[in-house]
Homo-oligomer: A and B are copies of this chain.
Amino acid sequence: MGIELEPDKQQSTSASVYEDMRSRLVVGRFKAGERLRSEVLREHYGCSASTIREVLFRLSCDGLVDFVDQKGFRVPHVTRDDLREVAEIRIMLESEGAARSIANGDINWEAGLTAAHHKLRHIEHKLRTTGQIKTNIEVWCAAEWEFHQNLISACGSNLLKEMHRSVYDRFRLHLLTLLTDYGFRERAIAEHEAILKAALARDPDLCAEKIRIHLMKNLEEPFVDAAE
């Protein structure tokens, strides 16, 4: 049980292993609290334990895996409080980034944001109609990220963008491990639209409020039983 990984015959390098592990984590391929043994991962990726160790260290810096000295790595076992903390920080960063984008963004920012929302809207309606959330969760994740990234893309601060990326991924990882619905809710469709409208209306305070509503709604969803 635990790690189910398809064999990767390509020559796995440090960067590729990092990207693959990251995407797998954020999409919920690992179980919370699961130990990440270097030997198992080494076998799957076809590289040495040193490379695995290096990748896991980078992921631990991103907050995507836990590291304890002399005890190895494991997928963080998150609590509701952890999720709330991450949500609060993401609200702060994304509201700030959106406000700056609203102040600085030109027509290209508006165009990019609108395009990202259009794609997101498309996949979300598809999800709502078909109800096949699990099979389309990855493409939805990508579209959702695109939209929120575009929202702050004109903020003018690379550091703010980097931190937002980091916190966004942590938020997603926490959602996937804590919730039963993989992070997608029908209400999110209207919430995304409200954020878009506030941004295009150049109203930073309203936009911040819509972001807060959007993220906080996730905390009210049904939680998986944390039986251990």
Contacts and interface: CB of A to CB of B under 8 A. Distances in A.
Interface SS of chain A: helix
Contacts of A92: 92, 96
Contact of A62 (B54, B61, B82, B159): B61
Contacts of A159: 82, 85-86, 89
Of A54, A57, A69, A159, the most chain B CB neighbours within 10 A belong to A159
Interface string A66-104: 000100000000000010011011001000100000000
24 contacts: A15-B69, A50-B50, A53-B54, A54-B57, A57-B57, A57-B58, A57-B61, A58-B61, A61-B61, A61-B62, A82-B159, A85-B157, A85-B158, A85-B159, A85-B160, A86-B159, A88-B157, A88-B160, A89-B157, A89-B159, A89-B160, A89-B163, A92-B96, A163-B163
